[in-house]
Amino acid sequence: MLESTDRCPSGSPTSDKIVVRRFINSAIYVEKEMSPSRKTSALSLAGTDEGYQTEKSVSSESLKRAPLGHLTPKIKPAKAKSVRKCTCILGATQCQCHQQPAEPARRKKTVDFSDKNSTTSSSSVDTQITIINKSPKSKMSTESLLSSTSLLSSAMDSSLFIDQDPKEKEEQFKKWLKNKEQQKKAKKLEEQRQQKLNKEKEAMLLEQKEAVYKDWLERKKQQEENLKKQKEREKKKSKKMEEEKKRKLVNNKEIFDAWLKIKAEKQTEAKMKAKKKEDEKAELKKGRLEQSQRAFSDWLKHSKDKPKPVPSNQGLSSLYLTDLVAYVNPEPWVGN
């Protein structure tokens, strides 16, 4: 949101009623009256008839205490409209434009040996610098004001050597050279000290790197030894496991052979028992067959002497004891 200050259109240009416009966008804005505390501020006076006034007064004592490069002007807003418009850079005692029409100031060409770090003394100079906005309706920002005052400050610093005694200039130049030599010497000493510190730092870093490298080598050596020991332990363990496996295999083979032997013995015994049983059975059968043959042969020998049976179901024929058929099959036998 942008903010700008405008005079109220009703009334004279020096009217005290100031309106603040707060722009919301390019088409809409809100106006309100400025507070009394902001009416007298430097930003509210920018672009008005009052303008700005910059005053700078430098004395010989202040020049002795502070370097020339560090002199900065004090910016104060103008309190009245009756400020004389002066654009020269000379003092109020030397400027002629306050009493008669302004003329271009004549400046002597001098060599400025001023340095920001030097503490040279100069004659007392009273300088009055006034900045007046020539166009009442123009708006000057704070940045442009500060830049203009800095330019005037540099111009004033360069004009401090105007109309000085040559001896004093030479003395100031010698002091400046002396200060320069001291600065160079101090700079050289600082560089040497910095180089020494850098060397010490590099040596310390090198020692730290060597210590870290040694620690790394020791850790690496310890790791290799531990790895070697671990490999040896694993080798011994694997060898022991192989021996145990072989021993178990031998034991298993022995057990298996013993089992096979027992199994074979059992099978042989079972076979012998079965054979013995078969032999007994065959012998029993043979004995029974011989006994039946003997009984049959004995029956054949004595059967003719035995009486024949008398039939009881053949009627009159059953009364005869001879020429009788014991049984007559009415259906002849047919083989398969």
Structure tokens at 124: 């007392």
In which band, very low, low, confident or very high, does the pLDDT at 166 lie, cut at 50, 70 and 90? confident
Q: Which residue has the higher pLDDT, 127 or 84?
A: 84
197 shares a domain with 210:
yes
Question: Domain for residue 28, yes or no?
Answer: yes
Question: Domain for residue 34, yes or no?
Answer: yes
226 shares a domain with 198:
yes
Mean of pLDDT values over 309-318: 68
Q: DSSP states of 233-273 as a string?
A: HHHHHHHHHHHHHHHHHHHHHHHHHHHHHHHHHHHHHHHHH
Question: Domain for residue 295, yes or no?
Answer: no
pLDDT at 307: 72
CB 116 within 8 A of CB 70: yes
**Phi-psi map region of 255: left, alpha, beta (phi>0 left; psi -120 to 50 alpha):** alpha
Question: Domain for residue 302, yes or no?
Answer: no
Mean of pLDDT values over 154-159: 49
In which band, very low, low, confident or very high, does the pLDDT at 113 lie, cut at 50, 70 and 90? very low
Mean of pLDDT values over 309-335: 68
Range list of H helices, 67-165: 142-158
105 shares a domain with 129:
yes
**DSSP-assigned beta bridge partners for residue 19:** 6, 33
Among 94, 75, 83, 96, smallest CA distance to 159 is for 94
Q: Tell me if residue 247 falls in helix, strand or coil.
A: helix
Mean of pLDDT values over 89-99: 57
In which band, very low, low, confident or very high, does the pLDDT at 179 lie, cut at 50, 70 and 90? very high
CB 55 within 8 A of CB 143: no
- For the chain, percent of residues with pLDDT exceeding 90: 31
H or E element in which residue 52 lies: strand 52-55
pLDDT at 201: 93
Which of 148, 163, 178 is the endpoint of a domain?
163
Contacts of 90 (CB under 8 A, 6+ apart): 105, 127, 159
74 shares a domain with 127:
yes
Residue in the structure block whose two tokens are 């010497």 = 185
Which of 231, 251, 271 is the endpoint of a domain?
251
95 shares a domain with 16:
no
107 shares a domain with 59:
yes
Q: Is a pLDDT exceeding 80 seen at residue 63?
A: no
Question: Domain for residue 276, yes or no?
Answer: no
Which of 218, 251, 284 is the endpoint of a domain?
251
pLDDT at 250: 84
Domain that residue 19 falls in: 1-39
CB 13 within 8 A of CB 50: no
Number of H helices, E strands in the chain: 5, 5
Contacts of 200 (CB under 8 A, 6+ apart): none
128 shares a domain with 31:
no
Q: Which residue has the higher pLDDT, 166 or 84?
A: 166
In which band, very low, low, confident or very high, does the pLDDT at 329 lie, cut at 50, 70 and 90? confident
242 shares a domain with 204:
yes
- Taking the alpha carbons at both ends of the chain, their separation in whole angstroms is 134
What does DSSP say about strands 29-33 and 52-55: parallel, antiparallel, or unpaired?
unpaired
In which band, very low, low, confident or very high, does the pLDDT at 234 lie, cut at 50, 70 and 90? very high
Question: Domain for residue 83, yes or no?
Answer: yes
Q: What is the DSSP letter of 69?
A: G
Lowest mean pLDDT segment, chosen from 247-256, 281-290, 317-326: 317-326
Q: Tell me if residue 25 falls in helix, strand or coil.
A: coil
Tell me how many domains the chain contains.
3
61 shares a domain with 147:
yes
Question: Domain for residue 320, yes or no?
Answer: no
Q: Is a pLDDT exceeding 90 seen at residue 292?
A: yes
15 shares a domain with 121:
no
Distance set, CA 275 to CA 265, 283, 284 (Å): 15, 12, 14
In which band, very low, low, confident or very high, does the pLDDT at 247 lie, cut at 50, 70 and 90? confident
111 shares a domain with 186:
no
- Average per-residue pLDDT in the chain? 69
82 shares a domain with 20:
no
What's the gap between Cα 328 and its chain centre? 125
Question: Domain for residue 335, yes or no?
Answer: no
- For the chain, percent of residues with pLDDT exceeding 70: 45
CB 18 within 8 A of CB 46: no
Q: Is a pLDDT exceeding 50 seen at residue 90?
A: yes
Q: Is a pLDDT exceeding 60 seen at residue 35?
A: yes
In this prediction the pTM is 0.26
Mean of pLDDT values over 131-149: 48
Q: Which residue has the higher pLDDT, 113 or 259?
A: 259
